[in-house]
Chain A
Amino acid sequence: MPTKPDIPIALDVQDLQVYFKLRGSGLSRLLGKEGGTVKAVDHVSLRLRRGEVLGLVGESGSGKTTLGRAILGLVPATGGAIEHTSGGESVDISKLRGRALREHRTKVQMIFQDPHAALNPAMTIATQVGHPLVIHQKLRGAELRERVVAALESVGLAPAEQFMGKYPSDLSGGQKQRAVIARSIILNPDVLVADEPVSMLDMSVRAKILQLMLDLKHKLGLTYVYITHDLATAKFFCDRVAIMYLGKVVEIGPTDEIFANPRHPYTQALLKAIPDVDPAKQVPRDLPRGEIPDAARPPRGCSFHPRCPLARAECGWEPRDLKALVEEHWTRVPVDEYEHEHAVVGGLRELNTDAKTVLVQPTRGGTVAEIFAMFTKIRDENPDEPLWSGVTRIEQTPDGVAFDFAEPAEIALHPAGSSEVACVRVNAQ
């Protein structure tokens, strides 16, 4: 459903960046070399209206959990702003430090993925559910007990007396997650970040927990950020969905629109990957090839292009893709052919770069002509491979074979229908 403009904005994430520095090896640290940077969240902007449920969907490593933790200030933002509006007051969470940040936690809370780990094993349920009140409002005695009982009963742990004296190890997974939810709502927050709240639970419990979260939303007027890799629960639970890939939002829009009319190739692939319960429908799914790339060295242009079935010339092709293609070719050819070709070009180390131009040099035993012949052969095997559309020049020079790659188009979110998509195919329309 489209968001109504008259409902106030609760959370406004503007151009948020969360980068992590890599430390590199001991030797490179001694030599003072900088390790790489992982852009876990890379220029993400999101807007949540009060009472809305936004789903953050993506594979492992897409940065969705880091984004959720950044909203709570659990990881420092490298750049951008997280504006949280509550009761007419706006605060930029990413600028808060120390005591002010801790006090802000009364308004933004988190539900964790693993309920077995999120509770302190050495504290009773009553103590830990009530601890936020002890920390922030210095409550104790009968008043504290009353609030704890109310919170436990509102999450369905009733009668509360039966659970208060117990330790987490005495509870089942679903009960623990209810206790975690009770702890997160006891301060009456207005934004809840739920990091895969049901992925560690049994199937039978998942729906109940999600229903509980929806009930609490209506009762307490909560706004949810729902982080998940499970599109099926996102479809059930969210008003809007943002699809993340390698730290960037690639598509964002109303849930119905995303599911009925996915525009980004990655979204389309994710939707195809939902298992079908009908065994007769065993159609081969064209899932994205390969693995999610190394976040420390993301691909040039669109991060998804190496895996994209619909990639074009301007998607940001680069030497590393060429290397992957040659290696993939080697897995298919006979051993003696591989050995011959490998002897000619060597390990293709020069292709480990995202430069625009690259020169493949022959080894001591090979010649430039042989390399050229090898690449020609690989191209003729599959001329439709989108990579070749991104290669603007292949030329034999005295030193080796030179490749030029096409300039990548700028990738940014553009409106398409009622959603926004970051893909060159949509930009062109």
Chain B
Amino acid sequence: MKSLLAPFRQTTGMARWLLVTGVGIVFIFVLAALLAPVIAPYRFDQMEDADGQRFTKLSPPGPGHLLGVNDQFYDIFSRIVWGAQTALTVVLLAVLLSLVIGVVLGLVSGYVGRWIDRVLVFIMDAMYAFPSLLLAIVFSFLLKGVFDSIGGTLLFGMRPGVLSAALSLTVIYIPQYFRVVRNTTVSAREATYVEAARAIGASNVTIMSRYLFSNVIQSVPVIGTINAADAISTLAALGFLGLGIQPNEASEWGYDLSRALDDAASGIWWTGMFPGIAIVLLVTGLTLIGEGLNETINPTLRKRRFAPITLPPRAQEVVAK
């Protein structure tokens, strides 16, 4: 716990402000996601109240429906709360998976070198060359086909659409971790402490896990949070294009936004504005955390504050007065 809080205690001024704001915003969304069944008045796909009475289509914000109802008879507030759960699940899964895969591949590639390094660098660079959204679309198409054929609920009760969205995001973020870790590994591999580890008889796996790992992952948390922010917007973009999570699988802000496109012209602002605000806020929060961490962890940006010290007047002067 102490080491977890270390970056926070080391921050000063701007960096601390960024970090605190970011954590505050993300915390609200995490709460919403965890307590969704309690907070949300309705299920994400509920169109009628307990009496079987259909909600009034496109009714404005007001009592009963805090943020109004959209054109599919869904309660917008419930959609946003459940949407937070979807977004955070997908992003957490995607970032964790891409982090683990990217770091391991980067370590092996950088340390072992030779043909493994060449092949992996080639593949990662090829993936980097595509626009990430395009790549995400292709992968979510492919994976969706596979998962739909399996059907039902998959890993941890996730629906096929949710899992395929998470995995397609995973694929596009692996190269970022890979590059950073591989490059730092290549330079750390030549360090004397690695040779010293070899001299005490450590195997390659031990050298990678005990000596290189902890010295090459410093910048990974920063990439992780910044990727998370990017993943939110990419997920929303997939949903907006109708390629992401389907409305019957889970609530997704991007999909709601695309449905609200026509409403905006006819003066119905609430269907589009609230999911939009949710996306912007969560992306901002995660970006702030990333920037705050970067300011703290990256030594080239870090500034140390020196507090001025005022010495008490010397005894003689006091006596003289």
Interface on A for B, CB 8 Å cutoff?
Answer: 72, 74, 102-106, 109-110, 112-114, 117-123, 131-132, 135-136, 180, 183-184, 187
Q: A123-B214, A131-B210, A135-B206 are in contact. Are A118 and B201 (CB under 8 A)?
A: no
Q: Given A112-B192, A119-B193, A131-B210, are A74 and B215 also a contact pair (CB < 8 Å)?
A: no
Q: Size of chain B's interface in residues, with CB distance under 8 A?
A: 17
Chain B window 212-224, contacts with chain A (Cβ cutoff 8 Å), 1 for yes, 0 for no: 0011000000000
Residues of chain B touching chain A, judged by Cβ–Cβ distance below 8 Å, are: 191-193, 195-203, 206, 210-211, 214-215
Contact B198 A122 (CB under 8 A): no
For the complex formed, measure the closest distance between the CB of A388 and the CB atoms of chain B, giving whole angstroms: 46
Shortest A115–chain B CB gap in Å is 9
A394 to B214 alpha-carbon distance, docked (Å): 66
Given contacts A112-B192, A114-B192, A121-B193, contact A105 B215 (CB under 8 A): no
- A109–B202 CA distance with the chains assembled, in angstroms: 13
Q: Specify which of A74, A109, A123, A184 is in contact with B195 (CB 8 Å cutoff).
A: A74
Q: Which residues of B sit under 8 angstroms from A119, Cβ to Cβ?
A: 193, 196
- What are the residues of chain A within 8 A of B214 when measuring CB–CB? 120, 122-123
A105, B195: Cα distance in complex, Å: 13
19 contacts between A and B (CB under 8 A): A105-B201, A110-B196, A110-B199, A112-B192, A112-B195, A117-B192, A118-B196, A119-B193, A119-B196, A120-B210, A120-B214, A122-B214, A131-B200, A131-B202, A135-B200, A135-B202, A135-B206, A136-B201, A180-B196
| 5 nearest CB pairs, A to B | A105-B201, A122-B214, A117-B192, A102-B201, A132-B200
Closest Cβ of chain B to A178, distance in Å, is: 15
- CB-CB under 8 A from A187, the residues of chain B are 200
Contact A132 B195 (CB under 8 A): no
Bound together, the chains give a CA A102 to CA B199 distance in angstroms of: 8
Instruction: Report A-chain residues with C-beta under 8 Å of the C-beta of B215.
Output: 120-122
Contact A103 B201 (CB under 8 A): yes
Which of B193, B197, B206 is in CB contact (< 8 Å) with A117? Answer: B193
Which residues on A sit within 8 Å (CB–CB) of B197? 120, 131
Residues from chain A with a CB closer than 8 A to the CB of B206 are 135
CB distance from B152 to the nearest CB of A (A): 44
Return chain A residues, CB-CB under 8 Å to B191: 117
A117 contacts across to B, CB distance below 8 A: 191-193
Bound: A105/B214 CA distance, A: 24
Closest chain A CB from B73 CB (angstroms):
56
Distance A47 CA – B27 CA, assembled complex (angstroms): 68
* Minimum CB distance partner of B200 in chain A: A132
Contact call B201/A183, Cβ cutoff below 8 A? no
Beyond the given A102-B202, A104-B201, A131-B210, please list 16 additional residue pairs across the A-B interface where CB-CB is below 8 A. A74-B198, A74-B199, A105-B199, A112-B192, A113-B192, A117-B193, A119-B193, A119-B196, A121-B193, A122-B215, A123-B214, A135-B201, A135-B206, A184-B199, A184-B200, A187-B200
A353 to chain B, nearest CB (A): 35
In the bound complex, CA of A131 to CA of B196 (Å): 11
| Docked pose: A110 CA to B195 CA in angstroms | 10
Minimum CB distance partner of A117 in chain B? B192
Residue of A nearest to B206 (CB): A135
Smallest CB separation, B193 vs chain A (Å):
5
- Give the most central of B199, B202, B203: most A CB within 10 Å: B199
Among residues of A, the one whose C-beta sits closest to the C-beta of B201 is A105
Q: Hey, which chain B residues are within 8 Å of A106, CB to CB?
A: 201
Q: Which residues of A contact B192 (CB under 8 A)?
A: 112-114, 117-118
A109 touches B193 (CB 8 A): no
Considering residues B191, B192, B196, B203, which has the most beta carbons from chain A within 10 angstroms of its beta carbon? Answer: B196
Q: Using known A-B contacts A123-B210, A123-B214, determine if residue A118 contacts B193 with beta carbons closer than 8 Å.
A: yes
CA distance A131 to B193 in the complex (A): 13
Q: Are B201 and A120 in contact (CB under 8 A)?
A: no
Closest to B199 in A: A110
Least CB distance from B3 to A in Å reads: 12
Nearest CB in chain B to that of A183: its residue: B200
